[in-house]
Amino acid sequence: MEEQNYIEGIFRALKTLLVGLKTSIKVFFEKDVTEQYPENRSTLTFSEQNRFCLEMPHNEKNEHKCIACGLCQMACPNDSITVTSEMITTEDGKKKRQLVKYEYNVGQCMFCNLCVRACPHDAIRFNQDFELGVFNKAKLIMQLNHPGSKVEEKTVAPKPVAQVTAPKPVTSAPGQTDKKEE
């Protein structure tokens, strides 16, 4: 019985060896792909899943979507985002939070994408800018909102208010009770 287990073990070992060799031989005959990095900067493309550097998109009017809620700052596990805001009073007398400064420290960021997922207005995203090598750590701290930028005004038509009529209360006639008679 032991001889049979020994021989079966040898055949299992040979089978796994052949599976590994098949994989190695298949990879050996594939064509090598080498990116010539500095020369092919103009044609170099990356997948959308790659995350390199955080950015706050602005439109042509220098407007952004950030409302300075601070959810991205709270979601960041290592405090690489600092949102500075101030309260202002609008023309109609309401108090509103306004973004003053949005700082992002690339040197601390671990590119986890939690800040982008936490943003309710899609005000920030990761871009494809990967060349971030610098000699001074102070250059890794970026201000993402442009000077003089403001929040993008949404032109949404107000929703019509539905007329709701309250149901009439049910009143019992005099002398009647709500109890069921048994």
pLDDT in tens, the chain (182 residues): 788 899 999 999 999 999 999 999 999 999 888 878 888 888 887 888 888 999 999 999 888 999 999 999 999 999 999 999 999 888 888 898 989 999 999 999 999 999 999 999 999 999 888 888 899 999 999 999 888 777 877 654 455 555 556 556 666 555 555 555 44
Strands (E), 51-124: 53-55, 63-64, 81-89, 95-105
Q: Report the predicted TM-score, pTM, of the whole model to 2 decimal places.
A: 0.62
Task: Please tell me the predicted confidence (pLDDT) of residue 176.
Answer: 57
For residue 182, the model assigns a pLDDT of 44
Rounded Cα distance between 58 and 166, Å, is 47
Q: And the tokens for 117?
A: 């997922």
**Amino acid 157: pLDDT:** 46
Virtual CA dihedral for 118, 56, 112, 103, nearest 10 degrees? -100
User: Is residue 44 within 8 Å of 36, Cβ to Cβ?
Assistant: no
**Separation CA 161–CA 164 (nearest Å):** 9
Residue burial 105-144, b: 16+ Cβ < 10 Å; e: rest: bbeebeeeeebbebbeeebbebeeeeeeeeeeeeebeeeb
